[in-house]
Chain A
Amino acid sequence: MPWDRNQMAARAAKELRDGMYVNLGIGIPTLVSNYIPEGITVTLQSENGMLGMGPFPYEGEEDADLINAGKQTITELPHTAYFDSATSFGMIRGGKIAMAILGAMEVSETGDLANWMIPGKLVKGMGGAMDLVAGVGRVVVVMDHANKHGESKVLKSCTLPLTGTGVVDLIITNMGVLEVVPGGLKLLELADGVTEAELRAATEATLV
């Protein structure tokens, strides 16, 4: 059985280190906050303008002035700080955020990332993703290995408009964990019950 969304998030959480300032993208990356390992303290950044993002509020305690980058209601923590969006992206672009964990539509073997639009079909926009991949120390992508048509999302080169070139460091999919290295992708880990042959068959990119 390949990993489910929660197992992928739990695997991504193992990349966190004590004291890190981290930005989590929308979707599966948001679930990573449920799996922060015992004894490790990380500070979550929300790029609309907050450090120290807390959990969802209890019903009745939602505050329209307190949302995350996915526009979801959240809460603050004792060490929370608020700031404007220009300051927020200053810390992103300035390399102060240690890690970003993001979703993706496609990733290439050279670390190119596409996650913001499908021409003529789906126009969402890049939001803060282009700034994040350009600025943060380490970019971890969490996504399904194949799209809903069964085609590999781990490619030799991306077909969709790019979010950044050569920016991805680690790819965590439902089938395993791949590191971007010179010459291609290095298989680090297989999901439970997935064989290397199955992962290779599902991967268009070069595995070294």
Chain B
Amino acid sequence: MKKIYGSAKEALDGVLFDGMLIAAGGFGLCGIPELLIDGIVAAGTKDLTVASNNAGVDDFGLGKLLATRQIKKMLSSYVGENAEFMRQYLSGELELEFNPQGTLAERMRAGGAGIPGFYTKTGVGTVIAEGKEVKTFDGQDYILERGIFADISIVKAWKADATGNAVFRKTARNFNPPAAMCGRICIMEVEEIVPTGSLDPDTIHLPGIYVHRLIQGQHEKRIEQRTVRQRETA
């Protein structure tokens, strides 16, 4: 089965539709599927619901899809540092469902693992618990959260072989594996497609079974907060 596609446009062909639910990997601007986001901007798909921890910044990452008003609703844990996101939300143009970060990650993982709901103590006694079933286990309250089953996932890895076996690099792994798992179709972009057999099977982070379409390309990999320390002078 051929998984490698020539471009984001080709890899997204036939899977996009208005009103769909997309799960996206990345944390801040780290490990985000830059090429596929650009591909969705170009495709013009509308009324998207996007599950992603953040929404990029104003001119990069998912911020581009906010600028074009292609996103109707976000499922996110953090929107600080994104002025347009906050403006659209406070003015009512954008729906936002706050999800605690760990709950969002687990909702994706659960969806990918065929689990429609799970109980967690995260958010008990807060607005997050409103409207959700509360169940007591061993004297402690937990709330019911739902697994996410996305129409597609868009994720970014460092390297993958032709079968989609993928390796991530450092903290760019973040939400990418759980996001990949929860999509009915997962489209992955990588910095390098390597020959099948060249990755040590013991070091695969995400098995290729979760990856349906694969592209390779150049990544900008923008840094959001460049922080450095001074070198000690000799």
Contact A86 B178 (CB under 8 A): yes
Chain A residues with CB under 8 Å of B109's CB are 86
Please state if B90 and A71 are interface contacts (CB–CB under 8 Å). Answer: no
A135→B121 contact, CB < 8 A: yes
CB distance from A97 to the nearest CB of B (A): 11
Cα distance A85–B179 when bound, in Å? 10
Q: Does B28 contact A (CB under 8 A)?
A: yes
A38 within 8 A of B: no
Is B28's CB under 8 angstroms from A92's CB? no
Q: How far is the CA of A135 from the CA of B168 in the complex (A)?
A: 27
Q: Say yes or no: A164-B170 contact (C-beta < 8 A), given A47-B101, A85-B175, A125-B79.
A: no
* CB contact under 8 A between A130 and B28, given known A85-B53, A85-B178, A125-B76: no
Asked whether A128 lies within 8 Å of B29 as measured between CB atoms, the reply is no
B41 in the interface, Cβ–Cβ < 8 Å?
A: no
Partner of B173, one of A49, A59, A62, A70: A49
- Binary B-proximity of A7-30 (CB < 8 A = 1, otherwise 0): 000000000000000000000000
Known contacts A65-B30, A131-B102, A134-B121; decide if A84 and B170 are in contact (CB<8 Å): no
Q: Which residue of A is nearest B228, CB measured?
A: A59
Size class of the A contact interface (CB-based, 8 Å): 35 or more
Quote the shortest CB–CB distance from B43 to chain A (angstroms): 26
Q: Does B89 reach chain A (CB closer than 8 Å)?
A: yes
Query: Which residues of chain B in 133-158 are interfacial with respect to chain A, using CB atoms and an 8 Å cutoff?
Result: 158
* Chain B residues within 8 Å of chain A by Cβ, number: 57
Interface residues of chain A: helix, strand, loop or mixed (majority): loop
CB distance from B163 to the nearest CB of A (A): 20
Q: Given known contacts A58-B231, A93-B122, is B80 in contact with A124 (CB within 8 Å)?
A: yes
A66-105: CB near B (< 8 Å → 1, else 0) gives 1110111110100000111110111011000000000000
**Contacting residue for B228 out of A50, A56, A93, CB 8 A:** A56
Q: Kindly provide the distance from the CB of B152 to the nearest chain A CB, expressed in whole angstroms.
A: 19
Which B155-185 residues sit within 8 Å CB-CB of chain A?
Answer: 158, 168-178
For A71, what are the chain B residues with a Cβ–Cβ distance below 8 Å? Answer: 27-30, 81, 224-225
A/B interface sample: 8 pairs, CB < 8 A = A61-B228, A67-B27, A71-B27, A73-B226, A84-B178, A126-B78, A127-B78, A130-B122
For the A-B complex with A68-B171, A93-B120, A162-B127 known, give 7 more contacts whose Cβ atoms are closer than 8 Å: A72-B227, A82-B173, A85-B102, A86-B178, A126-B128, A127-B77, A161-B127
